Amino acid sequence: MSDILDTLKKNEEIARKFLKVELVLNLANTPSKLLETVLRELETEFNIPYRWFTLVQHTGKNDLVARLAMTESLKEQVGILDEASFLEILSGNTATVLANDNLRPFYKLFPKTRKYFLKSIAVVPLFLDGVLIGSLNLGDASPERYYPGMDTSLLQQLAGKVSERLERLLIPPRKKSDRSGSSLDCTSPDSGASES
């Protein structure tokens, strides 16, 4: 019985930490600040030694790399990969990928200037307006930190929140039409909408 209570307490603590990270996301006012905030908060709350993003190189309006205006410090924490290679690593899956064996294919996700000595990894896909844009990657020197079959629901929830916030920061707000056919700006101070 005490084992069950201990597990429940650990799970509550993990959920509380994820919520803390999620709440801080709304304070970021640029896409670069958002990504930096996620990486910093994951280190602070969970003591994850290796944290970075990988972005899929797209062309045209879907090229997030060009739209982000990354700071120099963020560039060192972001890997860039072509879409075909990225999808190959995910094995066509759009859910979180966990591995603690045969990690060599995941090395392609690393930022160019970084090498991590991983024994386990979590690759959490990120989407922008329904398009796969990359992943949040978490690694550890312990093979027990991330392993296939472990519950990733809180990680996936965090990725959803990051994607939503990134979308709000990158995609201009749409105007709604009122009954007379004129458009209303839903983000103006007089509209009653608040900016996140």
* DSSP assignment letter at 109: G
* DSSP assignment letter at 125: E
Query: Count H helices, E strands: the chain?
Result: 6, 7
Q: Is 59 exposed, middle or buried (0-12, 13-18, 19+ CB in 10 A)?
A: exposed
* DSSP assignment letter at 106: G
Confidence of residue 66 (pLDDT cuts 50, 70, 90): low
- What is the pLDDT, as a whole number, of residue 174? 60
Over its C-alpha atoms, the chain yields an Rg (Å, rounded) of: 19
Predicted structure pTM score: 0.81
CA separation for the pair 178, 170 (Å, rounded): 25
Whether the per-residue pLDDT at 106 is higher than 90: the answer is yes
* DSSP assignment letter at 149: T
Whether the per-residue pLDDT at 52 is higher than 70: the answer is yes
Express each pLDDT in 108-131 by its tens digit. Answer: 999 988 888 899 999 999 998 888
CATH architecture of 2-191: 2-Layer Sandwich (3.30)
For residues 135 and 54, is the Cβ–Cβ distance under 8 A?
Answer: yes
Whether the per-residue pLDDT at 185 is higher than 60: the answer is no
Express each pLDDT in 11-38 by its tens digit. Answer: 889 899 999 999 999 999 989 999 999 9
The interaxial angle of helices 153-170 and 31-46, nearest 10 deg, is 160
Tokens for 32, please give them.
Answer: 């670069």
